[in-house]
Structure 1
Amino acid sequence: MHFSHSPGLWADFPELVPGVLCATGLHAPAQVDAAVEGFQAIARSRLAAVGSESELPEVQAWRRAFSRLGLKPTQYRCAAESLLRRFKKEGTLPRIHPLIDLCNAASLAFAIPVAVFDVAQVAGWLQVRRAGGQENYLAFSGETERPEPGEVVFADAQDHAHARRWTHRQSRLSAIRNETAGVLIVAEGLHATAAGDVPRLLQALSQALGQAWPVSPISRVLTAQAPRFDFG
């Protein structure tokens, strides 16, 4: 299996810094409270220093990207901004699954979208690209949607769209569940310091994963010159 971004997407967003991490041998029972609380403390500190999460440079960069894609930034927010808005309002996030809780908390701390996929539900490979119109997306409601042509999706070899509108909404198909054993985690930054921040995020997540599960994560930062990550 492999992961990549399409050449067209690299051409449109040369500032993109994608980080990928894979791990196998996970199981649901795990203690991640300390790591989650540590990430959330960083997020609280960062939010306290700004008037709104929209002022964070990481979020601003994604808002500009969504505008370039023809999306209204206040209607379609990247996953990190949505998490920060909820966290700021409620003071915490609901616990869902140890791995999801950990990735959400890391996303809060770094203000960078983090997606996590159950690789058993991905067919062949996964590429971030513009939709051709033939892809199918399984919403969490159970309904099947058809992404619009030109929309940025995470698509596999069978034209399953595992995320819509780039970092806005993930599919139910490859969502993490209790029986998930192997995962692919993708973090994408577009801001000026992403080249330093994304590796730090990967390192922090790798350390937290290794403390919670008997796993040895493999991670890499991709570039337009080396855009492919082989895993599995």
Structure 2
Amino acid sequence: MDFSHHPALWQQYPELAAGALSARGIRRDADASAPIARYEALAMARLQAAGSESALPEIQAWRRTFSRMGLKPTQYRCASESLLRRLRTEGAMPRIHPLIDVCNAISMAFAIPIAVLDAARIAGPLQVRPADGTERYLSFAGEVEHPDAGEVSFVDAAGNAHARRWTHRQSGLSAVRDGTAEVLIVAEAMHDAGREDVRKLVEAVAQVLRDVWSAAPVTGFPDAAAPRFLA
């Protein structure tokens, strides 16, 4: 696995804090109910204390980033904000896959977006970079879209866009499914304590992988000086 952010992003967003994790041995039949419940409870407690997800500093920072990208932040939300909004309005989250469910719970608890990708569906190096408009994005409805030129996306060597509008929406192409065995997990924050919080988040995910899947995750924290995560 070769993952990085384009140098232009580190230059434009020096506050970016990133963490990455690679793990093998993922199984659909694993029981992650305990950590899911624990982190969802933490997320709900934060929501109740703040009153709304929009009051959390982690969410406010991503809203500012979306505005800088020319996006209306109440129309295009980062993934963690969308999850917290659903938790607040519905009171519970649907169960999709144990790994997705636990990463969603941790994402909500930290209010930091997490991308979980099936490594087998990624062609060669994966980079977060501005799109040139030719990339192909497969929606969960099965439709092929093309990110706008300049839109930040996760792009692999084959020109597949694995996300749209940075942390807004992942692609159906690399979504975790029943047969997924190896994953790349990426967390990105923009708030003042982002670097410390991303490290805590990555360790939280890694610990669940050890406990639930008996995995041996490889973790890394790319930055402007050393932007590549290799695993």
TM-score range, shorter chain: over 0.9
**Paired residue for 1:160?**
160
TM-score (norm 1): 0.98
Structural mapping, 1:46-57, within 5 Å: 46-57=46-57
SS of the counterpart of 1:107?
Answer: helix
Shift, 1:155, TM fit: 0.1
TM-score (norm 2): 0.99
5+ long unaligned stretches in structure 2: none
Percent sequence identity is: 58
Query: Match for 2:56: what amino acid?
Result: L
**Paired residue for 2:179?**
179
CA distance in 2 between counterparts of 1:63 and 1:183 reads 27
CA distance in 1 between counterparts of 2:166 and 2:153 reads 5
Shift, 1:51, TM fit: 2.2
1:80-121 CA deviation, whole Å, 9 max, x = no partner? 000000001111110000000011000010000001000100
CA distance in 2 between counterparts of 1:114 and 1:37 reads 18
**Paired residue for 2:203?**
203
Aligned partners of 1:26 and 1:214 also within 8 Å: no
Shift, 1:222, TM fit: 1.3
**Paired residue for 1:148?**
148
Query: Match for 2:155: what amino acid?
Result: A
1:44-98 CA deviation, whole Å, 9 max, x = no partner? 1111111211010000000000000000000000000000000011111100000
**Paired residue for 2:103?**
103
SS of the counterpart of 2:85?
Answer: helix
Paired residue total? 231
SS of the counterpart of 1:135?
Answer: coil
Shift, 1:214, TM fit: 2.2
Computed over aligned residues only, the root mean square deviation of the Cα atoms, in angstroms, reads: 0.6
The list of structure 1 runs, each at least 4 consecutive aligned residues, that deviate by more than 3 angstroms after superposition, is none
1:29-55 CA deviation, whole Å, 9 max, x = no partner? 111111001101111111111121101
CA distance in 2 between counterparts of 1:151 and 1:26 reads 31
Shift, 1:6, TM fit: 0.0
